[in-house]
């Protein structure tokens, strides 16, 4: 499809506006590293929340979610628990407050407050820097694959070329151009540019989502959906197996759909959900990976505001995003044209989103929606480009190479580090062939390797810097080797069977074979952060030194609030889906549950928030 001139003009105008805005704000970012990477910790929590929601509204993930909604129906709303989306729930309830009390610049620097300054602490510091950079590069590669696949279906020019003997496709050329635009304003403006432009992007995206939801409900009737879907497609419940079988499309399409059901790794759905719930709790308590999500928490003015910011993310993100996902999913289903979705001889379900847009959104409106979706990509990409270099400059260059350099030197190094991260991420992106493959690797393998060490650092006083280092090394190594050593094993099942045991063993051996960390460091950490868990020896020493100190006894309340908030968050996802597919009874029940859970959280969480 070729875009109309007005649609191309809207997209170009939006890109220019974003860059101009980023450069206009850039002077505020050049004072020091705190200003560049955290906005000086002066930005309101609601702007940080909108920015964080915008950064999670990525186009690559949206393409994947549209594809799985088409294939799995309402049960597809459970698959993002792989990330896990609960991360924001645990941050909202208690973790954001714990993290923000540290008053540091990055997740790696935060480790000094937990493990001190010894060799074990320095090793743990290095391990989390390496992890952060691998994660950021992985996300950039993931974004690179998604934006190219999306844009090439709309823009009319064939940009494929040969550079130094290497064939570069149009998909990759378009991705390079858009990434270059985004890198310009992120490098120049730092966190200020990222947050302000992301708020603008979030507004554009929300408008686009509502428009798509309305168009879908006008274009597709409930009867049209019912005529195509298999039994159980509209139900959230599931049995031992996924129990979906496509039979109402032509044979070739049915075969492709059923083959996807059997090869994605979710067919034994009960086992899959058991793994996802177990992993979700573990990874969520571990806290966010050291990236843009953590940077927003550390950038909040106070611990209380960091919790409010995390709660706002779920509230503003899911309803508009799932209006878009459900709308494009049902349009793609009813007006399915497999001939436009073939890629290397097989149907590429990740092209359903651009197919639905290109055929059913009117001129002018399409330009606004595409600007919103490109904004979604730019938000995620910009957030990662801002987060990754913080570790290179603050945790490597400043700490180990040039600790006395001027602020201007650090800012210039930040520019160079941003460009370096982007170049490496794009290089990796050239070798990515499937959004689903890299998504599963990031969520199940990479973040799975992160879980054990970061879970234990909160709850166990004896866990030390050496244990953290060896747990991270073992987890990261396992996540990188599993696809090579066990090529036939689903990466989802590799987490409980291989990655978690290896990482946990590294944590325990590293801790038991070395001495405990300095008690003064542990006491200072425990008194400042006040986590619950197995801290009794340290609690007794803190209590002896300060008889007014009170132990954190809110474990039960926090876990109850997390369970309630998971249900609350799920209703925000289900309500727009049920609206678009005309399941009004289920939608009404979800709305009632939404208000009940909000009332509980108001009394048991919001009213008890403290710094």
Measured CA distances, 471 to 31, 128, 506 (Å): 37, 11, 4
> 335 pLDDT exceeds 70?
yes
**Backbone phi, psi, residue 358, to 5°:** -70, -20
**What single-letter DSSP state applies at residue 350?**
G
Cβ neighbour number for residue 550 with a 10 Å cutoff? 9
> 191 pLDDT exceeds 60?
no
3-state helix, strand, coil in the chain (%, to 5): 75, 0, 20
Q: Are 326 and 581 in contact (CB under 8 A)?
A: yes
Residues 6+ apart with CB under 8 A from 56: 293, 313, 317, 380
The pair of three-digit structure tokens given for residue 230, joined into one six-digit string = 């298999």
Tens-place pLDDT, residues 485-508: 877 777 677 778 888 899 999 999
Residues 6+ apart with CB under 8 A from 398: 33, 405, 410
Mean pLDDT of 28-35: 51
> 383 pLDDT exceeds 70?
no
Look at the alpha carbons of 412, 416, 418, 419 in this order and tell me if their dihedral is positive or negative.
positive
Q: What is the DSSP string of 256-275?
A: HHHHHHHHSS-SSHHHHHHH
Mean pLDDT of 317-321: 89
Q: Are 14 and 200 in contact (CB under 8 A)?
A: no
> 577 pLDDT exceeds 90?
yes
376 or 584, which is more confident: 584
Domain ranges of the chain: 5-260+292-433
3-state secondary structure 211-260: HHHHHHHHHCCHHHHHCCCCCCCCCCCCCCCCCCCCCCCCHHHHHHHHHH
Give the chain's radius of gyration (CA, Å).
24
Residues 6+ apart with CB under 8 A from 320: 205, 206, 209, 210, 576
Continuous H helices in 101-169: 107-115, 119-151
* Residue closest to 73 by CA, chosen among 566, 581, 571, 492: 581
- Bridge partners of residue 167, in order along the sequence: 162
Please name the CATH architecture into which domain 5-260+292-433 falls.
Up-down Bundle (1.20)
> 591 pLDDT exceeds 70?
yes
Tens-place pLDDT, residues 101-121: 876 656 666 778 888 888 888
Residues 6+ apart with CB under 8 A from 269: 75, 238, 239, 240, 241, 242, 243
pLDDT value of position 536? 95
> 394 pLDDT exceeds 80?
no
The two beta strands, 166-168 and 161-163, are antiparallel
The pair of three-digit structure tokens given for residue 476, joined into one six-digit string = 């990261």
Which burial class, exposed, middle or buried, applies to 435 when counting CB atoms under 10 A from its CB (0-12, 13-18, 19+)? buried
pLDDT value of position 465? 92
Q: Are 380 and 139 in contact (CB under 8 A)?
A: yes
381 or 592, which is more confident: 592
**Backbone phi, psi, residue 298, to 5°:** -70, -20
Instruction: Please give the Cα distance from 262 to 272 (Å, whole number).
Output: 13
Continuous H helices in 395-464: 407-429, 435-440, 447-459
Q: Residue 467: in which H helix or E strand, if any? A: helix 465-485
Tens-place pLDDT, residues 240-283: 888 888 888 888 788 888 888 887 777 778 888 888 888 888 87
Q: Are 448 and 283 in contact (CB under 8 A)?
A: yes
pLDDT value of position 251? 83
């Amino acid at each position: 499809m070729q875009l109309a001139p007005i649609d191309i003009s809207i997209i170009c105008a939006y890109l220019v506006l974003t860059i101009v805005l980023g450069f206009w704000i850039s002077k505020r970012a050049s004072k020091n590293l705190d200003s560049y990477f955290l906005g000086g910790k002066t930005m309101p929590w609601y702007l940080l929340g909108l920015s964080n929601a915008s950064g999670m509204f990525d186009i690559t993930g949206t393409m994947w979610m549209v594809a799985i909604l088409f294939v799995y129906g309402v049960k597809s709303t459970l698959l993002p628990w792989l990330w896990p989306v609960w991360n924001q729930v645990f941050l909202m309830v208690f973790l954001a407050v714990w993290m923000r009390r540290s008053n540091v610049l990055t997740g790696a620097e935060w480790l000094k407050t937990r493990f001190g300054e010894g060799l074990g602490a320095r090793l743990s510091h290095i391990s989390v820097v390496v992890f952060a950079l691998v994660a950021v590069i992985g996300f950039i590669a993931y974004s690179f694959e998604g934006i190219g696949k999306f844009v090439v279906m709309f823009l009319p020019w064939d940009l494929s070329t040969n550079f130094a003997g290497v064939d570069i496709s149009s998909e990759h050329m378009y991705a390079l151009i858009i990434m270059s635009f985004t890198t310009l304003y992120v490098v120049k403006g730092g966190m200020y540019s990222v947050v302000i432009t992301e708020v603008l992007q979030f507004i554009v995206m929300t408008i686009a989502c509502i428009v798509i939801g309305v168009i879908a409900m006008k274009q597709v009737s409930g009867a049209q959906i019912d005529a195509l879907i298999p039994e159980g497609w509209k139900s959230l419940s599931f049995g031992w197996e996924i129990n979906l079988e496509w039979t109402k499309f032509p044979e070739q399409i049915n075969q492709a759909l059923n083959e996807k059901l059997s090869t994605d790794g979710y067919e034994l759905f009960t086992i899959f959900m058991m793994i996802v719930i177990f992993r979700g709790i573990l990874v969520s308590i571990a806290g966010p990976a050291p990236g843009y999500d953590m940077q927003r928490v550390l950038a909040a003015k106070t611990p209380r505001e960091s919790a409010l910011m995390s709660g706002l993310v779920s509230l503003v993100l899911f309803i508009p995003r799932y209006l878009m996902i459900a709308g494009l999913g049902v349009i793609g289903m009813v007006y399915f044209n497999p001939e436009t979705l073939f890629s290397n001889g097989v149907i590429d379900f990740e092209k359903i989103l651009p197919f639905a847009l290109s055929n059913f959104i009117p001129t002018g409106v399409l330009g606004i929606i595409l600007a919103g979706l490109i904004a979604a990509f730019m938000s995620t990409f910009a957030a990662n480009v801002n987060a990754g270099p913080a570790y290179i400059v603050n945790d490597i260059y400043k700490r180990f190479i040039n600790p006395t350099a001027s602020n201007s030197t650090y800012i210039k190094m930040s520019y160079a580090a941003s460009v370096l991260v982007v170049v490496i991420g794009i290089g990796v992106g050239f070798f990515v062939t499937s959004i689903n493959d890299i998504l599963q690797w990031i969520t199940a393998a990479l973040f799975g390797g992160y879980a054990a060490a970061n879970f234990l650092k909160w709850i166990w006083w004896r866990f030390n810097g050496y244990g953290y280092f060896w747990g991270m090394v073992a987890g990261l190594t396992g996540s990188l080797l599993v696809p090579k050593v066990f090529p036939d094993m689903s990466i989802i099942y590799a987490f409980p069977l291989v990655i978690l045991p290896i990482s946990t063993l590294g944590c325990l051996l590293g801790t038991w074979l070395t001495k405990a960390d300095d008690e003064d460091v542990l006491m200072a950490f425990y008194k400042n952060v006040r986590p619950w868990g197995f801290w009794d020896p340290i609690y007794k020493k803190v209590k002896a030194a300060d008889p007014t100190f009170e132990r954190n006894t809110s474990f039960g309340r926090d876990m109850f609030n997390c369970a309630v908030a998971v249900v609350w968050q799920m209703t925000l996802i289900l309500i727009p889906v049920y609206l678009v597919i005309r399941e009004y009874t289920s939608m009404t029940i979800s709305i009632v549950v939404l208000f009940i859970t909000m009332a509980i959280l108001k009394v048991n969480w919001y009213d008890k928030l403290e710094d």
